[in-house]
Structure 1
């Protein structure tokens, strides 16, 4: 099956030719009826000689595909910006969720202050008592607290 990123099958990138599946061996096909061993060896040698070019083309197509996917993703990402000292709520994770509350428990917890901005989309928080959290939190796990 041809891959979207490379435009080639993994077998062709490895061996330089198309794979012959077992079903095709047992059936009459154009590929089997036109088989000529002498010309096949020449074609196979040519395919092996051209294999680095095929791999380079596949690498270029893969790089273009990755650029398009990155551009598509970045167009749709909406970064959240929080000002320091604003109050925020933190999403309750499976690790911090109280199992006795079940699925009807709260999805957001606390009133936390943003202490500082670490890097793109991550913030250091502290609780209402002024105790800071040891690690930063991603902006997607925070939301503004309205008083």
Structure 2
């Protein structure tokens, strides 16, 4: 292994003998030293912001801003509430309610729990038909088979679709 003063000493078989360079062509140490030696632009050329800064008026303006903070929060919460109201109205305009009546025939979506594993992905996605026996609350239906055997739990309307018999 070669020893070079001021550099990391890696074995020549395991890595570089100096730090990697950045996109600007300097290694991290050189970039840091260059950054320290650079003269900020504010020293030579002042900006309008620095010229117009007055410590007393700045503190006074900060106090005014803190006093108005509650009003700003109230306006922001009003805008959020208005936005949410508009989004709710837009959604409710476009939603289409589906209702089933007692006695309607429906198909039930096959879930992973009820799917026959031997059929694979080419198995049916809907099973049935089933008859609606009871409507408990909005979107929740109790079903029974055509033989009259009731299913153990209610099903949501998302997992049901109306069955149309061929004539």
TM-score normalised to the size of structure 2? 0.61
> Structure 1: any 5+ residue segments left out of the alignment?
1-25
Q: Report how far residue 31 of structure 1 moved.
A: 9.0
Are 2:136 and 1:118 equivalent residues in the alignment?
Answer: yes
How far apart in 1 are the matches of 2:145 and 2:80?
A: 46
Post-superposition Cα deviations, 1:90-117, rounded to whole Å, max 9, x if no partner, equal: 1122332233322211111122111122
How far apart in 2 are the matches of 1:102 and 1:31?
A: 72
Q: How many residues were matched structurally? A: 121
Q: CA RMSD of the aligned region, Å?
A: 2.6
For 2:145, the equivalent position in structure 1 comes to: 127
> Structure 2: any 5+ residue segments left out of the alignment?
1-39
Are 2:160 and 1:142 equivalent residues in the alignment?
Answer: yes
- Structure with higher Rg: it is 2
Are 2:89 and 1:84 equivalent residues in the alignment?
Answer: no
For 1:40, the equivalent position in structure 2 comes to: 58
Structure with greater contact order relative to length (CA < 8 Å, sep ≥ 6): 1
Q: Report how far residue 134 of structure 1 moved.
A: 4.2
> Is contact 1:79–1:121 with CA below 8 Å preserved after alignment?
no
Are 2:122 and 1:96 equivalent residues in the alignment?
Answer: no
TM-score normalised to the size of structure 1? 0.68
